[in-house]
Amino acid sequence: MTIWRLHHAKLRMQLRCHARGLRGVAGLRRLMGDFIRAVHPDLSPEFPEEARRINQRSLAELNAFIDILEKDGPRPFEDGPESAHDLPFFRAFRTRLGRVVPQKVEPLQVTLPSLPAAAQEAEKEFAAAYLIRGAQVALESSSSTFSDRPDVPKLFTQKGAGRAAFDKLWWQQTQEELLRDALHGPDDAEVRLHVAKRVFACKYASQLMRRYQRITNNQRRKLRIAQLDEVVEAKIREKFHSVEPSEEVEPSEENEKKDPLRVLQGGFHPDLVFMAPGLSESQRREAIRRVCGMNLAEADFWLLENLWKAMRTGPPPVPLVIAEDYKAHGSGFIQIPWDFTVSSLCDLLEEHLETTREALQRRRQRCLAASGGAATVSHGFLVGKTTGKGPQKSYNML
């Protein structure tokens, strides 16, 4: 876990350093130039029509997101957050030696990172660096249909279609058990205590065994050896009694840890929950507890899970911003206070969920229309627009 944290901190530092060069007009588009040229529909007239259409729409959405990142100053709170989602693209298929195969394309995708409400300049720079890194990884991925890695057989091989359901259930239960162990397994102090007990037991048992082997009376020696485990256990209890962890658990803590999978699966998707600026650390913690449905009765918990499911299903998913009061914004997001109740949230969604989802769709369509339908690149790259009527030679090289 420590190695993972160090690697994550190093990655964040690299992304932040990389993002420092993004300030200025069209800085992000300049760094995205290789990716844009690879998928731009005007530069790929030999692509199939369906691939060009998908590239055109995804590139327009990418253009709108870049416009958001390149605006100076913090993002207005009324514009709402941007939830993370994947954009599908197609690029020319290349062999292992780099030769382009005509009339053949391969899919790739780029993830648009999430932006919180009222995103500051540092958050936009980090999102820009994340976007650049994702585009680079997508372009560097191999196009070859043949792998250079050994073919490792699966642990479970299914010879018939009837085995698929069993394998799916088996792996699902395995993942749940791993998650339980990771969340509520023994902590470091408990692990060190068990190791100390085991080392002491081995040493003490060896000492007693050497002592018992020197007993000349056979019957007495056998009796002592038979009682060796009991003597060692008694000595361990006597020595480590003062450092034994307390087995008394508070009722509230026991309820919170009763079913970790229920808490995680019932909680709202992390990419769709945003905290408004100005909330204290204690308010953020309490908001997360309530979003996850901790300390709720069974009926209230299932109601909360159904509310989250209604918000994140039925495209597009509606973002949630935790602030100070209940409000459905016309820009397409739901705002609730940090100490919200399930009944008040239910009333708000029953009245405004569908209208908020429609407002979010209209806002995205306006962003796509404002972006001009395709990528616009300046400072050494192409400038132009595309239509759905085939390749248009309307770009100019600057």
Residues 382, 100, 56, 34: is their CA dihedral positive or negative?
Answer: negative
- Tokens 């993972």 correspond to 4
Q: Six-digit token pair at 12?
A: 């964040």
Spatial CA neighbour of 272 closest among 131, 117, 57: 117
pLDDT confidence tier of residue 181, bands split at 50, 70 and 90:
low
Q: How far apart are CA 90 and CA 59, in angstroms?
A: 11
SS3 (DSSP) at 62: helix
Query: Could you write out the DSSP letters of every residue in 109-140?
Result: EEEEPPB-TT--HHHHHHHHHHHHHHHHHHHH
- Tokens 């007495």 correspond to 220
pLDDT confidence tier of residue 379, bands split at 50, 70 and 90:
very low
3-state secondary structure 335-366: EEECCCCHHHHHHHHHHHHHHHHHHHHHHHHH
Sequence letter at residue 132: I
Q: How far apart are CA 171 and CA 380, in angstroms?
A: 51
Domain spans, the chain? 10-145+374-397, 170-243, 259-370
pLDDT value, residue 154: 59
Mean pLDDT across 9-27:
49
Q: Is the pLDDT of residue 185 over 50?
A: yes
pLDDT value, residue 186: 62
Stretch among 45-49, 156-160, 366-370, 376-380 having the lowest mean pLDDT: 376-380
Q: Is the pLDDT of residue 89 over 90?
A: yes
pLDDT value, residue 188: 67
- Quote the distance between the C-alpha of residue 6 and its chain's center: 18
Q: How far apart are CA 203 and CA 110, in angstroms?
A: 58
Q: Is the pLDDT of residue 200 over 50?
A: yes
Give the bridge partners for 329, in sequence order.
333
| Percent of all residues in the chain with a pLDDT value above 70, rounded to a whole number | 69
What is each CA distance from 238 to 194, 195, 208, 209, in whole angstroms? Answer: 15, 16, 16, 20
Q: Is the pLDDT of residue 289 over 80?
A: yes
Stretch among 109-113, 163-167, 180-184, 201-205 having the lowest mean pLDDT: 180-184
Spatial CA neighbour of 315 closest among 366, 265, 371, 360: 360
pLDDT value, residue 182: 62
Q: How far apart are CA 42 and CA 375, in angstroms?
A: 10
Q: How far apart are CA 308 and CA 264, in angstroms?
A: 12
Mean pLDDT across 277-301:
82
Residue 198 CB coordination number (10 Å): 11
Q: How far apart are CA 341 and CA 91, in angstroms?
A: 48
- Quote the distance between the C-alpha of residue 119 and its chain's center: 19
pLDDT value, residue 55: 92
Phi and psi dihedrals of 13, rounded to 5? -65, -40
Q: Is the pLDDT of residue 25 over 50?
A: no
Residue with the larger pLDDT of the pair 362 and 263? 362
User: What is the reported pTM?
Assistant: 0.57
pLDDT confidence tier of residue 398, bands split at 50, 70 and 90:
very low
Residue with the larger pLDDT of the pair 271 and 214? 214
pLDDT value, residue 162: 57
Roughly what angle, to the nearest 10 degrees, separates helices 228-239 and 218-226?
50
Stretch among 16-25, 41-50, 113-122, 146-155 having the lowest mean pLDDT: 16-25
Stretch among 9-23, 178-192, 272-286 having the lowest mean pLDDT: 9-23
pLDDT value, residue 172: 76
Q: Is the pLDDT of residue 252 over 50?
A: no
Stretch among 12-16, 340-344, 385-389 having the lowest mean pLDDT: 385-389
Q: Is the pLDDT of residue 66 over 70?
A: yes
Q: Is the pLDDT of residue 258 over 50?
A: no
Q: Is the pLDDT of residue 96 over 60?
A: yes
Spatial CA neighbour of 59 closest among 74, 80, 81, 44: 44
pLDDT value, residue 83: 86
Q: Is the pLDDT of residue 88 over 90?
A: yes
What is each CA distance from 151 to 95, 154, 168, 247, in whole angstroms? Answer: 21, 9, 21, 48
Write out pLDDT tens, residues 321-371.
998 889 888 888 999 999 898 888 888 888 888 888 898 888 888 877 776
